[in-house]
Structure formats: structure tokens, C-alpha cells
Homo-oligomer: A and B are copies of this chain.
Amino acid sequence: MEAAIITFDDFTDIDVFFMWDLLNRVGDPNSRVRILGESEKHASSTGVEIRRHGHISETSGCDVVLFSSGMGTRRKRTDAEFLSAFRLDSERQLIGSMCSGALLLAALGLLEGKSATTYPTVRTLLESTGVRVVEQPFVREGNIATAAGCLAAQYLAGWVIEEKFGAAKREEVLRSIQPVGEGLYFSDTEQVAGAHATRNDGAQTASAAR
């Protein structure tokens, strides 16, 4: 699996790092998760700076493309240069968004005639683009999915993991982050020992660039 998480300035921390952490827990040596952006660095709304692993145009070669969210989506949805860098194909790629990232899917024409979910504060804006917005944590339409409410990243990442690695891997990864006593138990030690996020090729590339 070659997966990309799309970032931009003014992203929401948890909507990038939660997907990142979950997808890295797969621990498949032939997989790579990378953070792609337009610029070398992007800063979240709280000022956390992240260095990209590659340019957004590299999404063409990815199996999975997930758009993060944050205040920045309001600007990027009308940024022609940003939008024109994407050559996505929902026939061969899994494409998804967290929260207001749905505005970017809509701007790319990927939600035409489809249902989608988004963060409450941009529901009206997404509706104004013609999308049928539904109050659900996760909406899948073929190879395109939208998730909303930060913790719904579990559904979005879970969908990707199940599609690419099967239901057992999805269960292993999602179990590893549940609260102890509420989905994760001391007796799960063996089961979750392998499901911690470790450095992958994407991260190594980034590290070398630093």
C-alpha cells in the first residue's frame, strides 16, 4: 500500500496525526505512508510544523489518498494551483477525507451526485456545492469515503486497512488504541504488541531530508 495524507497550512493536528498513527500501525514492510503537501513544511492551526515527505502531485501514484482537515480547507477549496496538482482516479484509488477535508473532495468534483459527511461548522458550505450532506460519522460511496468528527478517523483508517489488509488487521490496529478496560485489555498484550507505529519508508525519506 502506498498511502498519502494531504496537508496544507492551518491543518487540524489530530486529523493528520491520528490517521498517520493508525496507518503506520499496520506494520507492513511493503507499505508506505507519506504526508504530502504543496510546500516543504506546513503548520497546523496550533503552530505544529510538519515536514512533508513529498509533493501533492505524487498522489497520482498512490493507492490511498486521504485529505486532512482544518481551517486551511476554506482557502484551499478555491486555490486553483493546489487543486490542479491532483490527478485522482476513484476507479483505482481509495480516496477519503476527514471533517472539512470533504470541501476539497467536492472542489475536485469527487462528490458529484454523492452523499458525504463533514464537520458541523462547514455543513452548510459543503451543501452549497451540491453535495447531499448526511449526519453520519462515515459515508462510503464506492472508493470514495468521508468521515467527520475527529474520532471518526477510526472508521476512515479502518476502511482503508480492511480493504488493503483484511478485517483481522483492522481489528488489531483499532484495538491497540482503545482505552484499557474499554476495548483494549491486559490479556491483549500479544495481540497488540505488533501494532505500534514504527518508522516506515516515507518517514525515513523525511528524516534523511532533515
Contacts and interface: CB of A to CB of B under 8 A. Distances in A.
Contact of A188 (B120, B151, B189): B120
Contacts of A148: 179-180
Contacts of A193: 121
Contacts of A20: 13, 46, 48
Interface of A: 12-14, 17-18, 20-22, 24, 43-51, 71, 117-121, 123, 135-138, 147-152, 154-155, 176-189, 192-193, 196-200, 203-204, 206-207, 210
29 contacts: A12-B21, A12-B196, A13-B17, A14-B18, A17-B18, A45-B196, A46-B197, A46-B199, A46-B203, A47-B204, A49-B206, A71-B196, A118-B180, A119-B180, A120-B184, A121-B192, A121-B193, A136-B180, A137-B179, A137-B181, A138-B179, A148-B179, A149-B180, A149-B181, A149-B183, A150-B176, A150-B177, A151-B177, A155-B179
Contacts of A17: 13-14, 17-18, 48
Given A120-B186, A149-B180, 5 more contacts: A13-B17, A17-B18, A43-B207, A71-B196, A135-B181
